[in-house]
Structure 1
Amino acid sequence: MSAALFRNVHLLDFDHPDGMTTTCDLLVEDGRIASIGRDLDVAPGVRVIGGKGGLLMPGLVNAHFHSSVNHMKGRLPCLPLELFMLFESPALETLRPTPRQAYLRTMLGCIEMLRAGTTSVMDDCFFIPEPTVEIIDAVAQAYVDSGIRATLSLDQPELSEFEKLPFLKELAPERFHAELAGRPRLQSGDLLALYDHLISRWHGAESGRIGAAVSCSAPQRVSPEYFAALDDLSRTHDLPILAHMLETKLQRVLGHEKFGGRSLVRYTHDLGLLSERMQVIHAIWVDADDLDLIAKTGANVAHNPISNLRLGSGVMPLREMLDRGISVSLGVDEAIADDAVNLWSVMKTAGMIHTLSGDDSDIWPSAREVLRAATEGGGRAMRRPQLGTLAVGAPADLILVDLSSLAFLPMNDLLRQLVHVEQGTSVHLTMVAGRVVALDGQVVSLDEAALLEEAREVFSEMAPALRRAADEVYSLLPIYRAMHDRASTVDVGLTRKMQEGLG
Structure 2
Amino acid sequence: MQTVDTVIHARWIIPVEPASVTYDHHALVINNGRIIDLLPSSEATAHYQAKHTEHLPDHALLPGLVNCHTHAAMSLLRGIADDLPLMDWLQNHIWPLEQKWVSEAFVKDGTDLAIAEMLRGGTTCFNDMYFFPDITAQQAVQHGIRACVGFVVIDFPSVWAESGDAYINKGLALHDELRQQPLVRTSFAPHAPYTVSDEPLQKIRTYADELDIPINMHVHETAFEVDSAQQQSGKRPLQRLHELGLLSPAFIAVHMTQLTADEIALVAEQGAHIVHCPESNLKLASGFCPVAQCLAAGINVALGTDGAASNNDLDMLGEMRTAALLAKAVASDASAVPAMTALRMATLNGAKALGLADEIGSLTIGKAADVIAIDLSELETQPLFDPISQIVYAANRQQVTDVWVAGKRLLNKRQLTTLDSDELKAKLAVWQQRLSAKP
TM-score by length of 2: 0.92
Paired position in structure 2 for 1:209: 183
**CA–CA distance in 2 between the matches of 1:8 and 1:375?**
19
Which of 194, 208, 225 is residue 251 of structure 1 equivalent to?
A: 225
**CA–CA distance in 2 between the matches of 1:185 and 1:137?**
13
Aligned in 2, Cα 1:223/1:447: closer, same or farther, shift over 3 Å? same
1:20 is the counterpart of 2:25: no
Contact 1:80 1:312 in 2 (8 A): yes
Give the letter for the 1:233 counterpart: Y
Paired position in structure 2 for 1:402: 375
Paired position in structure 1 for 2:67: 62
Contact 1:219 1:227 in 2 (8 A): no
Paired position in structure 2 for 1:377: 349
Shift of 1:94: 2.0
Partner-residue secondary structure (3-state), 1:10:
strand
The structure that is strand-richer by fraction is 2
Paired position in structure 2 for 1:75: 80
Pairing 1:222-261 to 2, within 5 Å after superposition: 222-260=196-234
1:333 is the counterpart of 2:306: yes
Paired position in structure 1 for 2:267: 294
**CA–CA distance in 2 between the matches of 1:14 and 1:211?**
23
Higher deviation after alignment, 216-225 or 116-125: 216-225
**CA–CA distance in 2 between the matches of 1:198 and 1:90?**
27
Shift of 1:154: 2.5
Paired position in structure 1 for 2:34: 32
Which of 95, 110, 129 is residue 124 of structure 1 equivalent to?
A: 129
Shift of 1:204: 4.1
- Structure 1, unaligned runs of 5 or more: 128-134, 161-181, 469-503
Shift of 1:53: 4.8
Which of 97, 112, 118 is residue 113 of structure 1 equivalent to?
A: 118
Which of 450, 454, 478 is residue 427 of structure 2 equivalent to?
A: 454
TM-align CA RMSD? 2.2
Higher deviation after alignment, 386-395 or 136-145: 136-145
Aligned in 2, Cα 1:43/1:194: closer, same or farther, shift over 3 Å? same
Which of 282, 294, 298 is residue 309 of structure 1 equivalent to?
A: 282
Shift of 1:264: 1.3
Give the letter for the 1:28 counterpart: I
Shift of 1:185: 6.5
Which of 242, 247, 254 is residue 269 of structure 1 equivalent to?
A: 242
Shift of 1:449: 2.3
Aligned in 2, Cα 1:25/1:413: closer, same or farther, shift over 3 Å? closer
Which structure has the greater CA radius of gyration? Answer: 1
Matched residues, number = 430
Shift of 1:354: 2.4
- Structure 2, unaligned runs of 5 or more: none
Aligned in 2, Cα 1:464/1:452: closer, same or farther, shift over 3 Å? closer
The list of structure 1 runs, each at least 4 consecutive aligned residues, that deviate by more than 4 angstroms after superposition, is 13-19, 41-45
Partner-residue secondary structure (3-state), 1:258:
helix
Partner-residue secondary structure (3-state), 2:363:
coil
Paired position in structure 1 for 2:95: 89
**CA–CA distance in 1 between the matches of 2:313 and 2:301?**
21
Shift of 1:5: 1.0
Partner-residue secondary structure (3-state), 1:334:
coil
Shift of 1:308: 0.3
**CA–CA distance in 2 between the matches of 1:185 and 1:454?**
26
1:154 is the counterpart of 2:151: yes
Pairing 1:379-458 to 2, within 5 Å after superposition: 379-386=351-358, 387-456=360-429, 458=430
Alpha-carbon deviations, 1:36-79, whole Å to 9, x = none?
Answer: 12322566562111122521110111000011311111111222
Shift of 1:157: 1.4
Partner-residue secondary structure (3-state), 1:155:
strand
TM-score by length of 1: 0.81
**CA–CA distance in 2 between the matches of 1:16 and 1:280?**
27
Paired position in structure 2 for 1:322: 295
**CA–CA distance in 2 between the matches of 1:9 and 1:433?**
22
Shift of 1:287: 0.6
Alpha-carbon deviations, 1:133-188, whole Å to 9, x = none?
Answer: xx44322221112211111113231159xxxxxxxxxxxxxxxxxxxxx9x96212
Aligned in 2, Cα 1:104/1:410: closer, same or farther, shift over 3 Å? same
**CA–CA distance in 1 between the matches of 2:128 and 2:362?**
21
Give the letter for the 1:202 counterpart: L
Aligned in 2, Cα 1:369/1:50: closer, same or farther, shift over 3 Å? same
Pairing 1:447-486 to 2, within 5 Å after superposition: 447-456=420-429, 458-464=430-436, 467-468=438-439
Contact 2:153 2:164 in 1 (8 A): no
Paired position in structure 1 for 2:338: 366
Contact 2:75 2:113 in 1 (8 A): yes
Partner-residue secondary structure (3-state), 1:352:
helix
Partner-residue secondary structure (3-state), 2:77:
coil
